[in-house]
């Protein structure tokens, strides 16, 4: 059975107006996302990647074209969408438990049951002993994990990840992206991951969209199929024989020049 379409972008154009000028950020972009799919988005800085995520979440409206989520036209910010950014946006004055429950609290969903879920998630992601610590006491990787737990507790149907690992050092980034990849698969989340890291995108995603420089259009759409005999963790998948082929292809298409 073909998978259900969760997100549909129909011929989107997005123009930003400022006092001085107008910027065509996205041009004639169409895209469909299926249930449970993890899509990677790569493209030069300023090509409209973050704009694309804001459009899907309903935070901004396209100048023309339509955004459809679960068969309905998006006209206002959606609730069933979780966001994760480069900066973890934890509140320094709240302990870790109170940081992960803030979304629930705001939505009026904090109760005995959800509090228990929060504690369980902290436990399963190795943060039990830090429940009553404060953000400054945690490493960058742990803080990102806290941000992810906070997002997952709201049980979003779609996750939008905007370069969530790019502020982390290489080792931590590898470990945490591996973990997040597994968590997304376990929870069968539909997700979009914007990243600068080609290897990260290949190891985590089912499909990679390459965007052109501004105005952002879709330059290529690459299905990723990696063979791996062991458990398919993102780190193991980097050793798959096809990995290099995808890497070289995407690298060439991105056409990165050292200035």
Interaction site with ligand ADP (CB under 6 A): 16, 18, 23, 25, 45-51, 214
User: In degrees rounded to 5, what are phi and psi of residue 97?
Assistant: -60, -45
DSSP 4: P
Which stretches of the chain bind Mg ion, using CB under 5 A?
A: 49-50
Nearest approach in angstroms of CB 234 to ligand ADP is 23
113 is written with which tokens? 């049951």
With CB cut-offs between 5 and 8 Å by kind, which of ligand ADP, Mg ion, none does residue 233 bind? none
Closest to Mg ion by CB, 237 or 254: 254
Closest to Mg ion by CB, 50 or 63: 50
Nearest approach in angstroms of CB 50 to Mg ion is 3
Nearest approach in angstroms of CB 218 to Mg ion is 16
User: How many residues would you count in the chain?
Assistant: 259
Closest to ligand ADP by CB, 46 or 77: 46
Q: Would you say 64 and 142 are in contact if contact means Cβ atoms under 8 Å apart?
A: no
Return the SS3 of 29: strand
Tell me the CA distances in angstroms from 240 to 179, 193, 244, one per residue in order: 18, 21, 8
Nearest approach in angstroms of CB 189 to ligand ADP is 21
Question: How far is residue 204's CA from residue 64's CA, in Å, rounded to a whole number?
Answer: 31
User: CB nearest Mg ion: which residue?
Assistant: 50
125 is written with which tokens? 């992601």
Closest to ligand ADP by CB, 43 or 181: 43
């Amino acid at each position: 059975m073909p998978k259900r379409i969760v997100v549909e972008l129909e011929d989107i154009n997005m123009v930003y107006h400022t006092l001085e000028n107008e910027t065509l950020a996205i041009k004639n972009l169409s895209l469909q996302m299926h249930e449970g799919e993890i899509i990677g988005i790569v493209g030069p800085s300023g090509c409209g990647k973050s704009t694309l995520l804001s459009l899907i979440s309903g935070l901004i409206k396209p100048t023309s074209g339509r955004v459809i989520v679960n068969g309905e036209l998006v006209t206002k910010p959606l609730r069933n969408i979780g966001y994760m950014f480069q900066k973890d946006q934890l509140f320094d004055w709240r302990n870790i438990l109170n940081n992960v429950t803030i979304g629930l609290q705001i939505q009026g969903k904090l109760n005995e049951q959800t509090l228990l879920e929060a504690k369980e998630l902290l436990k399963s992601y190795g943060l039990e002993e830090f429940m009553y610590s404060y953000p400054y006491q945690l490493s960058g990787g742990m803080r990102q994990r806290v941000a992810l737990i906070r997002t997952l507790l709201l049980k979003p149907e779609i996750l939008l990840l905007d370069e969530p690992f790019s502020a982390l050092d290489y080792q931590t980034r590898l470990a945490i992206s591996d973990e997040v990849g597994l968590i997304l698969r376990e929870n069968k989340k539909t997700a979009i991951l914007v990243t600068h890291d080609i290897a990260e995108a290949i190891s985590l995603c089912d499909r990679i969209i390459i965007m052109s420089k501004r105005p952002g259009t879709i330059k290529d759409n690459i299905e990723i199929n990696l063979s791996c005999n062991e458990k398919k963790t993102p780190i193991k998948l980097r050793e798959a024989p096809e990995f290099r082929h995808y890497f070289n292809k995407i690298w060439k298409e991105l056409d990165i020049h050292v200035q």
